[in-house]
Amino acid sequence: MTLSQQMAYKFNFILRVITLFSFDMMIPLVTIIIYSNTKGFPGWGLNEIILFQGIFIFLNSIDRMFFQRVDWTLSYDVRTGGFDRYLLFPINTLAYISFTNLSVEHIADFLIGIVLALYSFNKLNISISIFRLLLFMASLLFALMLVFSIAVIKYSIILRTVRIGRLGELVRTVKNYGQYPNNIFSAFLSSAFRFVLPISIFAFVPSKILLESYSSGILVIFTVIIAIFIFSLVFWKESLKKYTSAGG
**pTM for the predicted model, two decimal places:** 0.85
**Would you list the DSSP string of the chain?**
--HHHHHHSHHHHHHHHHHHHHHHHHHHHHHHHHHHHS--STT--HHHHHHHHHHHHHHHHHHHHHTTTHHHHHHHHHHHTTHHHHTTSSS-HHHHHHHS---GGGHHHHHHHHHHHHHHHHHHT----HHHHHHHHHHHHHHHHHHHHHHHHHHHHHHHHS--TTHHHHHHHHHGGGGS-GGGS-HHHHHHHHHTS-GGGGTHHHHHHHHS---TTHHHHHHHHHHHHHHHHHHHHHHHHH--GGG-
pLDDT (tens digit, 0 to 9) for every residue of the chain, 248 residues total? 555 555 555 666 566 667 666 666 777 777 777 777 777 788 888 899 999 999 999 999 999 888 888 888 888 888 888 888 888 888 898 988 888 877 777 788 888 899 999 999 999 988 888 988 999 999 999 999 999 999 999 999 988 887 666 777 788 888 888 888 888 888 999 999 989 999 999 999 999 999 886 666 899 999 999 999 999 999 999 998 888 775 44
pLDDT for residue 17: 64
Rounded to whole angstroms, the Cα distance separating 127 from 138 reads 18
